[in-house]
């Protein structure tokens, strides 16, 4: 076990700067893409609502997002293992930038007719989804593999905490910037157009940084992808530590998928809560961005201390706490009073779910062979996200009938997953 170490808020930055150049470059790219993703993705359901989509359509959008998240990581991991992280991440970054541009143009397309079919503006959001997710989902295996190649096994949680800290700074700044732009525009649609334009710029910048400065010499290149047979072999060959984690994660993420895309709808439409105080007055749309920033601030402050705690108590307890927060949040949110400070407190609580994320990532990639880190990560997310594909459609159908029932059922499913992991979860040997 490592000895006790005091926690310094500046430690993630010093630790990251002391790591190899690849991790530093990856973290800079993560920051840029995180700005773009977090400025946009949490507002897209609201964007679709303004463009005329109903709860059922928004639920289908979320399930399509689950499908993309399920399908992309495995081939992305295989590509990164085969071709190297630099070329893979550059291609994925450019595709993501194109996706943000597609979302930007959607309202300008108006209602188009393709033969007898009318294509409403919100339909183009579905097209852009396939593109925007490229860096985040296709590149997932590559980002895991870069950290694994650069960090000792018994410090993986801290290594992921360092990269995650920079990524979550983007998650903190992104919603605040979105809130400012939306408030300045005075109209949600126009403000979100400004947000999307900024996201395009950040995606292009992140792609340029990783392409120019990433050193591919350290990439470990795996075997050529052998098709479906290799997928099945990788599934059978998942490290034993991952199997109970995967079952629990499937349940928790299915529960989260039932509610996640509707968080913005609950705050802006169901509760309709804005913010007044400190000399400012924010609409519910702008206030939602502030709530996301509060969530990320708590995540940033807790992530490194909790990753260091995992070195003393193990990864399993930390992961279980994160699962419990995921599970509890939906029912707490939908039953919250229409009070601005109650929502601030709830989103601060939600930030604790990210505290266990470095430990979770360490558990996924830690037991993998060095040259197979991308494929193991891709296989894990393939299974987890494939099972979760219908979650948002299910949640949307129930939400259209009763938001309270939908969010309550989500919490019940999440608690089942948390209980399963507490009962059957295994510890990673490097932390035992």
Q: Per residue in 299-312, pLDDT tens? A: 888 887 887 787 78
Q: Give the residue among 239, 183, 209, 188 at the shortest CA–CA distance from 35.
A: 209
**pLDDT tops 90 at residue 147:** no
User: Alpha-carbon distance 148 to 144, whole Å?
Assistant: 6
CA dihedral 300, 357, 147, 42 (to 10 degrees): -70
Cα 201 to chain center, whole Å? 20
Q: Is 166 exposed, middle or buried (0-12, 13-18, 19+ CB in 10 A)?
A: buried
Q: List the Cα angle 272/278/282 in 5-degree steps.
A: 30
Point out which residues pair with 426 in neighbouring strands. Answer: none
Asked whether the beta carbons of 153 and 365 are under 8 A apart, the reply is no
Running DSSP on this structure, what letter comes out for residue 3?
P
Q: List the Cα angle 97/202/128 in 5-degree steps.
A: 25
What pLDDT is recorded for position 230? 64
Which segments of 261-418 are extended strands (E)?
275-277, 280-282
- Span 11-214+227-431: which CATH code? 1.20.1250.20
Site of tokens 């985040």: 136
pLDDT band at 5 (very low <50, low <70, confident <90, very high): very low
Asked whether the beta carbons of 427 and 309 are under 8 A apart, the reply is no
What pLDDT is recorded for position 214? 65
Q: Is 341 exposed, middle or buried (0-12, 13-18, 19+ CB in 10 A)?
A: exposed
Asked whether the beta carbons of 399 and 262 are under 8 A apart, the reply is yes
CA dihedral 237, 242, 245, 250 (to 10 degrees): -40
pLDDT band at 200 (very low <50, low <70, confident <90, very high): very high
Reduced to 3 states (helix: H, G, I; strand: E, B; else coil), residue 355 is coil
Domain ranges of the chain: 11-214+227-431
- Side-chain-side CA neighbours of 99 within 13 Å: the count stands at 25
User: Alpha-carbon distance 169 to 296, whole Å?
Assistant: 7
What pLDDT is recorded for position 1? 41
> Phi-psi category of 428—alpha, beta or left, where left has phi over 0 and alpha has psi -120 to 50?
beta
**Percent over 70 (pLDDT), the chain:** 73
**Percent over 90 (pLDDT), the chain:** 36
Query: What's the whole-model pTM score?
Result: 0.78
Q: Please, what is the average pLDDT of the chain?
A: 80
Q: Give the residue among 98, 124, 99, 129 at the shortest CA–CA distance from 110.
A: 124
């Amino acid at each position: 076990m490592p000895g006790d170490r005091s926690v310094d808020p500046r430690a993630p930055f010093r630790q990251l700067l002391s790591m190899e150049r690849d991790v530093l470059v990856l973290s800079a790219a993560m920051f840029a893409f995180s700005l773009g993703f977090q400025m946009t993705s949490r507002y897209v359901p609201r964007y679709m609502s303004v463009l005329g989509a109903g709860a059922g359509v928004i639920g289908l959008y979320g399930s399509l997002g689950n499908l993309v998240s399920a399908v992309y990581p495995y081939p992305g991991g295989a590509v990164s293992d085969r071709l190297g992280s630099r070329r893979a991440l550059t291609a994925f970054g450019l595709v993501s930038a194109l996706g943000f541009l597609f979302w930007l143009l959607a309202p300008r397309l108006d209602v188009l007719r393709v033969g007898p079919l009318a294509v409403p503006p919100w339909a183009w959001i579905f097209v852009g989804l396939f593109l925007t997710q490229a860096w985040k989902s296709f590149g997932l295996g590559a980002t895991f593999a870069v950290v694994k190649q650069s960090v000792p096994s018994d410090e993986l949680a801290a290594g992921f905490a360092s990269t995650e800290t920079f990524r979550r700074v983007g998650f903190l700044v992104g919603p605040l910037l979105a809130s400012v732009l939306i408030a300045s525009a005075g109209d949600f649609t126009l403000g979100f157009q400004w947000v999307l334009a900024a996201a395009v710029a950040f995606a292009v910048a992140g792609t340029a940084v990783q392409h120019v400065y990433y050193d591919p010499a350290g990439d470990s290149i795996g075997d050529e992808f052998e098709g479906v047979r290799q997928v099945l072999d990788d599934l059978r060959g998942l490290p034993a530590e991952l199997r109970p984690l995967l079952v629990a994660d499937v349940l928790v993420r299915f529960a989260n998928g039932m509610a996640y895309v509707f968080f913005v709808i609950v705050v802006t439409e169901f509760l309709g809560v804005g913010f007044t105080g400190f000399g400012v007055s924010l609409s519910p749309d702008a206030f939602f961005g502030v709530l996301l920033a509060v969530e990320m601030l708590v995540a940033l402050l807790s992530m490194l201390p909790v990753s260091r705690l995992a070195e003393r108590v193990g990864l399993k307890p930390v992961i279980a706490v994160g699962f419990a927060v995921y599970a509890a949040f939906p029912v707490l949110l939908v039953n919250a009073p229409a009070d601005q400070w109650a929502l601030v407190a709830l989103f601060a609580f939600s930030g604790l779910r990210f505290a266990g994320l470095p430990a979770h990532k360490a558990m996924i990639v830690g037991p993998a062979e060095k040259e197979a880190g991308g494929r193991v990560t891709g296989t894990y997310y393939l299974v987890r996200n494939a099972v979760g594909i219908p979650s948002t459609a299910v949640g949307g159908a129930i939400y259209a009938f009763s938001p309270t029932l939908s969010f309550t059922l989500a919490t019940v499913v999440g608690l089942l997953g948390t209980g399963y992991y507490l009962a059957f979860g295994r510890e990673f040997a490097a932390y035992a």
